[in-house]
Amino acid sequence: MVIQENISLKSFNTFGINAKARYFSTFSDVDELEELLHAYPQYPLFILGGGSNILFTKDFNGLVLKNEIKGVDEMHEDQNYVYVKAGAGEIWHRFVLHCINNNWAGLENLSLIPGNVGASPMQNIGAYGVELQDVFYCLEAFHRQEKKILTFTSSDCEFGYRESVFKRKYKDQFIILNITLKLRKHPIFHIEYGTLKQELERMGVKELSIRSISQAVINIRKSKLPDPKDLGSAGSFFKNPVITKSKFDALKEKFPGIPSFSSREDRVKIPAGWLIEHCGPEKTESGWKGFRRGDAGCYSKQALVLVNYGNAVGQDIFNLSEEITASVKSKFGITLEREVNII
């Protein structure tokens, strides 16, 4: 067990924020985790995955533990499904490609989502009409206080739109160790999103496959989102708001061009990027899109993405997010929620 002191977390978060951890270590199995949890019980604890969904606004005066539990195993299969377990420390996109290479269907629409496997059930990641809950079977998580491993089924996780019990009821109580997914041997394709259909057409795809859908998603994401190696970001900073149909109808009267997607239970999902582009600083053609103050900005190709152009501190980016949220609320009466966790 090696515990480092006063370590910069700049290389461990995709925003590239130069916050420091009082103590830092890694674990690759439960035994290491338990040993580390006993090391500094008096300090706050933060479990770090891929660092793609966090914004450090200050140094962390406690113990940061990076989850590096690896491994991908085919547990069992039946006539229609393959049950695949992946360690929480696996890189999500690498895991998706592994499944595609084995012709296990269900994750192709979730290609190139940043982060590690362990974070995927925490916020029920989703993209292009597919959410993790659609393929989720179970997970194992370590209870920090009771020091034991518990199994959670899909219903136990209480998945919602970018939500689960690990973000609400059990926040900071469990450390996810692995997940098991139920993937199809015979794919069901999801290409309802117009942008996905358009990209498949542009690629000249004549016969759909999970590989072609994955590549289309990768192409779209690369065209809209910056590579964290070149420009610090955490992907989509805000959730797409979901409102009642009656509220949407009222907005439609006032803003005829407002787009929407159908959601569950007679509710409507509105692209947050559109809202952000249609309000913001005066004398700008695309609202907040492309706005920059110092090294904190709103990405020029996708308004949902806040970026660090080099030397922004976390508070700079957080303050910008507050301004964007206030302007959307003022114009549309909608309160944007962050996907990113603020530390």
Q: Would you state the structure tokens that stand for residue 123, as one six-digit string?
A: 């916020």
Percent of the chain at pLDDT > 70 equals: 98
Rounded to 5 degrees, what are φ and ψ at 198? Answer: -65, -40
Q: 213 versus 2: which is more confidently predicted?
A: 213
- In this prediction, residue 263 carries a pLDDT of 64
Closest CA to 47 of 121, 97, 118: 118
pLDDT range class, residue 333, cuts 50, 70, 90 = very high
Burial label, 28 (beta-carbon count in 10 A; 0-12, 13-18, 19+): middle
Which DSSP string corresponds to 247-274?
Answer: HHHHHHHH-TT---EE-SSSEEE--HHH
Average pLDDT over residues 288-294: 92
Nearest CA-CA partner of 64 in 86, 43, 38, 87: 43
Note the pLDDT of residue 131.
94
Q: What is the mean pLDDT of the chain?
A: 92
| Token digits of residue 91 | 């890189």
Structure tokens of 257?
């061009």
Known catalytic membership, residue 236: yes
Can you read off the two tokens belonging to residue 333?
């009466």
Annotated catalytic residue 339: yes
Beta bridge partners of 297: 292, 307
Q: How far is CA 329 from CA 31, 103, 276, 278, 279, in A?
A: 47, 45, 10, 12, 10
- Name beta bridge partners: 176: 141
Taken in order of first residue, the domains within the chain and their CATH numbers are 4-67 (3.30.43.10), 72-184 (3.30.465.10), 232-342 (3.90.78.10)
**H-type helices in 53-179, by residue range?**
92-101, 154-157
Q: pLDDT tens digits, residue range 2-27?
A: 899 999 999 999 999 999 999 999 99
Catalytic residue among 52, 90, 154, 162: 162
> Mean per-residue pLDDT for 235-257?
89
Q: Which residue is catalytic, options 164, 236, 321, 327?
A: 236
pTM, two decimals, is: 0.85
What are the pLDDT digits (tens) for 148-164?
999 999 999 999 888 89
